[in-house]
Structure 1
Amino acid sequence: MAAKVEFEDDDGRVVRYVRHANGGGLVSPRARVHEGAMVAPTAYVEAGAQVGDRSRIGAGSWLDYDVVIGKDVVVAGNVHLGARTRAQDGSWIGTGSRVGSDVVIGRGVRIAPDAVVPDGAVVRRRAVRSEFGKAA
């Protein structure tokens, strides 16, 4: 696996990432990911983002620009966190969730799998339900 990856985005700009030592995920050189965090090999962390100690970013997840992840946060697989979103210590974001921009996810909050959280929301309660409800 290459230590550095470059590709051209839709606007023709060259985008560069480095592989995180713990997990091999793709991290912008302008992001800060704690060495004790784990970033899955197919996850992306964009410029300005910060990931705290012992946090885990799952396969296929994408942390957009200026996202801040606290300590002990789990971002499960295939999650998108919109720009400037904050996930406080101990929060958990379920598989397939889509979290808008400028969202605040409170300490210890659990976001259910496949949940959709709108831009600007402040999530302080213990759980956000999936828009799909219960499986049959």
Structure 2
Amino acid sequence: MKHSILAATFGAMLCTPAVANEAFTYAFDGSFDDATFAVESAIVGQGLVIDYVSHVGEMLNRTGADVGSDTMIFSQADIFLFCSAVVSRQVMEADPMNITYCPYGIFVMETDDGVTVGHKDYPEGSMQAVEDLMQQIVAEAVGN
């Protein structure tokens, strides 16, 4: 655990991705709204269509009391879900079970620590094309 925290801190200091809980995370220098706009623009800029935006933070904040919790996890949090016909075909031709990773998601979350943009860490091998696409989109969104 201590190693993960050090790795995440050091990675953020270098403006490179940190891997935390099997996700690549990047600090965003700006507001939540600016980050969601940047992520949306980067996805669309790749010629991709956003299938759905999941407003996870809103749902958790709205339902906390209903499930007996008063803990605020996120000020705000959204997940942008999309797919790439080209990349999806490539990874699913390599292994049809890669369907389990589609659609792909990039999240934006705001906590007391600030705004973070990220995506899950996909498995080595046939999913590398997806990981490369995600890294490219997120790097553009955070200004790297």
Length-normalised TM-score, structure 1: 0.20
Q: Which structure has the bigger radius of gyration?
A: 2
Greater strand percent: which structure?
1
Taking structure 2 as the reference length, what is the TM-score of the superposition? 0.19
